[in-house]
């Protein structure tokens, strides 16, 4: 099992997980872009029970079913948890101590991508996201 670990921008919040990553996907939805102030977000899905946090992490409910967290010191966004995926914590892949180990396998919410974002990979580009897929009982990610 890999020893995955990451940190916020100032380093005062750290996370670790002794687990295999569940999935990796780059999300282009507006919510992700706004919360991260980024053109899109590379998510790393982890088993929630395996993720251990330390430091001044602030959690808040960003919508009815979603709790997000960030570092109180530097404001770095850190995680996303949805009641739709009760066994998963989604962390920002670039918080990894070594982001180079991240392996994304798809783009999601491709239908909401910004017009000036271009990518030259050959990964699947799904129009919608994981919650829509879960509601339909299908998996977008292998
Ligand atoms: Zn911080
Ligand atoms: Zn998103």
pLDDT of the residue at 1: 61
**From the CA of 26, which ligand is nearest?**
2
Tell me the C-alpha distance between 28 and 114, whole Å. Answer: 8
pLDDT of the residue at 32: 94
CATH number of 3-135: 3.90.1590.10
**From the CA of 6, which ligand is nearest?**
1
Q: Who's near 61: CB < 8 A, 6+ residues apart?
A: 67
pLDDT of the residue at 2: 66
**From the CA of 69, which ligand is nearest?**
1
pLDDT of the residue at 139: 72
Q: Which residues are found with C-beta within 5 Å of the ion, ligand 1?
A: 8, 10, 12, 71, 73-74
Tell me the C-alpha distance between 84 and 129, whole Å. Answer: 12
**From the CA of 77, which ligand is nearest?**
1
Phi-psi label, residue 140: left if phi above 0, alpha if psi -120 to 50, beta otherwise: alpha
What are the boundaries of each domain within the chain? 3-135
pLDDT of the residue at 133: 74
Local mean pLDDT, 10-residue blocks, the chain (142 residues):
88 96 96 96 97 98 94 98 96 97 95 96 91 74 66
SS3 content of the chain, % helix, strand, coil (to 5): 20, 40, 45
């Amino acid at each position: 099992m890999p020893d995955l670990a990451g940190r916020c921008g100032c380093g005062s919040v750290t996370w670790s997980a002794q687990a295999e990553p569940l999935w990796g996907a780059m999300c282009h939805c507006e919510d992700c872009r706004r919360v991260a102030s980024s053109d899109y977000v590379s998510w790393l899905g982890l088993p929630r029970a395996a993720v251990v946090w330390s430091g001044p992490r602030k959690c808040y409910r960003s919508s009815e079913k979603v709790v997000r967290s960030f570092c109180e010191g530097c404001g770095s966004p850190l995680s996303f948890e949805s009641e739709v995926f009760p066994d998963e914590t989604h962390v920002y892949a670039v918080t990894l101590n070594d982001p180079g180990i991240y392996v994304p396998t798809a783009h999601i919410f491709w239908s909401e991508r910004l017009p000036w974002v271009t990518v030259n990979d050959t990964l699947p580009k799904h129009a919608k996201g994981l919650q829509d897929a879960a509601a339909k009982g299908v998996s977008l990610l292998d």
